Chains A and B, each alone.
Chain A
Amino acid sequence: GAVVSQHPSRVICKSGTSVKIECRSLDFQATTMFWYRQFPKQSLMLMATSNEGSKATYEQGVEKDKFLINHASLTLSTLTVTSAHPEDSSFYICSACIQGFYNEQFFGPGTRLTVL
């Protein structure tokens, strides 16, 4: 149980285009999902917290107009990188949270974004 999927797993796009990444909780309902970014050989950095039915909460330094997050249902959150640039190339990982005794996060397999 507690499986999280991401789609696509890998995407290559031209500079200036927008890319949408989906994060789905397959066998549970997730009221909260998180979006992380990981640059090569670095740790995970939280970008935003996504709550179903409400606006996402962005971490300091993350541009909300560039990284659009929508959490329209209890099983789906999307991250759209708008007007992508090469510096946005990164590994994007989502996690979904089951609210319970210790609110464990379950991580998706990640999406590798390369902007040319």
Chain B
Amino acid sequence: ELKVEQNPLFLSMQEGKNYTIYCNYSTTSDRLYWYRQDPGKSLESLFVLLSNGAVKQEGRLMASLDTKARLSTLHITAAVHDLSATYFCAVVPSGGSNYKLTFGKGTLLTVNP
């Protein structure tokens, strides 16, 4: 059974600081997604990472994937209040026609002025 672990689950940081959210998964994966969820809202797709060494950046967020370590990171640079949200990683296991997503528990990010 595929397990996806995120840490930290809660992150409170000051504006202007940098931090990293980690996502570990237990089996080989075809692809990994990062999503953002605001309170009361659905998911917003941030990144899809398809191969080992993949790095994608959008604004103050940068995601990377190390398939050998089964680890993805979401790095936040110079955080601003607007980044406050819950961030989920989700993984699709390798092989077959299975494209079901398994989600991590999410990281609640609070950026304080």
| Partner-B contacts on A (CB < 8 A) | 32, 34, 41-46, 49, 93, 97, 102-110, 112
B contacts with A, residue count (CB < 8 A): 22
- The answer on a CB contact under 8 Å between B100 and A110 is no
Closest residue of chain B to A111 (Cβ to Cβ) is B42
Q: A43: shortest Cβ distance to chain B, in Å?
A: 5
Interface centre among A44, A46, A104, A112, by most chain B C-beta atoms within 10 angstroms, is A44
Contacts of B31 on A, CB cut-off 8 Å? 102
At the interface, yes or no: B55 with Cβ under 8 Å from chain A?
Answer: no
B60-113 interface with A by 8 A CB criterion: 88, 92, 99-106, 108
Q: How many angstroms between the C-alpha atoms of A45 and B88 in the bound complex?
A: 12
17 intermolecular pairs with C-beta atoms under 8 Å apart: A34-B100, A34-B101, A42-B105, A42-B106, A43-B88, A43-B104, A43-B105, A43-B106, A45-B103, A49-B100, A102-B31, A104-B48, A107-B35, A108-B42, A109-B41, A109-B42, A110-B42
Shortest beta-carbon contacts, A-B, top 7: A103-B99, A110-B42, A107-B43, A43-B103, A109-B42, A43-B105, A107-B42
Q: B58: shortest Cβ distance to chain A, in Å?
A: 16
Closest residue of chain A to B99 (Cβ to Cβ) is A103
- The answer on a CB contact under 8 Å between A97 and B42 is no
Interface centre among A42, A93, A103, A112, by most chain B C-beta atoms within 10 angstroms, is A103
Q: How many angstroms between the C-alpha atoms of A41 and B33 in the bound complex?
A: 20
Q: How many angstroms between the C-alpha atoms of A102 and B31 in the bound complex?
A: 8
At the interface, yes or no: B30 with Cβ under 8 Å from chain A?
Answer: yes
Q: How many angstroms between the C-alpha atoms of A44 and B88 in the bound complex?
A: 9
Q: How many angstroms between the C-alpha atoms of A44 and B104 in the bound complex?
A: 9
